Amino acid sequence: MKLRLWQVDAFSSKSLAGNPAAVVPLERWLPDDVMQAIAAENNLAETAFFTETGEDQYDLRWFAPTLEVDLCGHATLASAWVLFNVLRPSLVRAKFKTRSGDLAVERSDGGYAMSLPSGPTKPFSAPVKFVDALALALSTSPPSELHIAEKGGAGTRSLIGVWKTQDQIVALKPVGDLAGLLDQIGYRSLIVTAAGDGKPYDVVSRFFAPHYGVPEDPVTGSAHATLTPFWAKRLGKKVLYARQASARGGDLCCTDAGGCTILQGDCALYMTAEIEV
């Protein structure tokens, strides 16, 4: 069986930046183990599969290299890019039914605008031994605060560490066993963040998901669906300009719209391919 595949760099206006996602349109669903094997073969943070269910409606699923995930922003944006630019160029809005509910992406002046469910957070008190071990694993000083992401946004298994400056976020370097450390408190991923210096960023962050086969994700839409309401309240701003400070890096315009977060960003095509399974 031959399948078409597009590799799209999301949250970037040029290729070789932002977050790459593989997009594989299907006429009907493949067995789960086959889709998981394709995602492992691609070895990207996410591979998105979708099937058409109506004129502008699609069922969408996301697979990391090791398992299916509940929510992925950048692969949703990449899927919309394939529809808008290749498969359905007359579309101005695409609706996706997913494990995290109904999502939508539409064309905008800033590229594409995507609405994701916002993720509430709550403070988290960890033993001093864990906090010190986390700082050591990241080659930095201890965070000033810890929080956890509840349902929505980055999901229910993300720990959030807050540092005082954006320079600390940019400079930190994972050297320890983050997966094992997160296992100690029952979490699967880590968001590190700080307020930006306003030149021009309001928020900076990085995202580590070792349990999903993603040591560091370049640009994470779902994490910003958690970070946006968190920082919007603190900074007293509804619209935030965010930078995910990974090696590839990515920029997002994030709007706190109450129960949802609107993320704006561009996409760039890296590769068109045909795979055989």
pLDDT value of position 188? 87
Q: Does the pLDDT at position 153 exceed 60?
A: no
2-113+265-276: CATH architecture? Roll (3.10)
Q: Which residues pair with 276 in a beta bridge?
A: 2
pLDDT value of position 152? 53
Report pLDDT digits (tens) over 79-96.
999 999 999 999 999 999
| Residue 151 confidence class, pLDDT cut points 50, 70, 90 | low
Query: Could you say which of 46, 52, 68, 106 is catalytic?
Result: 46
The residue extents of the domains of the chain are: 2-113+265-276, 121-256
Q: Does the pLDDT at position 226 exceed 70?
A: yes
Show the tokens assigned to 41. Answer: 């073969």
Average pLDDT in the chain: 94
| Residue 156 confidence class, pLDDT cut points 50, 70, 90 | low
Q: What is the CA radius of gyration of the chain?
A: 18
Euclidean distance between CA atoms 266 and 183, whole angstroms: 35
pTM: 0.89
Percentage of the chain surpassing pLDDT 70?
Answer: 98
46 included as an active-site residue: yes
Euclidean distance between CA atoms 230 and 264, whole angstroms: 18
pLDDT value of position 110? 73
Q: Do domains 2-113+265-276 and 121-256 have the same CATH topology?
A: yes
Worst-scoring range by mean pLDDT, 108-117, 151-160, 178-187, 264-273?
Answer: 151-160
Compute the average pLDDT of residues 143-149.
Answer: 96
Give the SS3 label for residue 215.
Answer: strand
- DSSP, res 44: S
Euclidean distance between CA atoms 230 and 240, whole angstroms: 11
| Residue 277 confidence class, pLDDT cut points 50, 70, 90 | very high
Report pLDDT digits (tens) over 45-77.
999 999 999 989 999 999 999 999 999 999 999
Angle at 43 between CA 275 and CA 26, to 5 degrees: 40
Peptide bond into 117 cis (omega under 30): no
- DSSP, res 39: H
Return phi, psi of residue 64, to 5°.
-80, 175
Compute the average pLDDT of residues 149-159.
Answer: 67
User: Residue 14: what residue type?
Assistant: K
CB within 8 Å of 16: residues ≥ 6 apart: 9, 248, 270
- According to the per-residue pLDDT averaged within each range, which of 146-155, 205-214, 235-244 is highest? 235-244
CB 267 within 8 A of CB 235: no
What would the CATH number be for the domain defined by 121-256? 3.10.310.10
- DSSP, res 141: P
Q: Does the pLDDT at position 109 exceed 90?
A: no
Euclidean distance between CA atoms 187 and 237, whole angstroms: 29
Report pLDDT digits (tens) over 167-224.
999 999 999 899 999 999 988 899 999 999 988 999 999 999 988 888 999 999 999 9
Compute the average pLDDT of residues 14-32.
Answer: 96
Tell which wins on pLDDT, 273 or 150: 273
Q: Does the pLDDT at position 154 exceed 50?
A: no
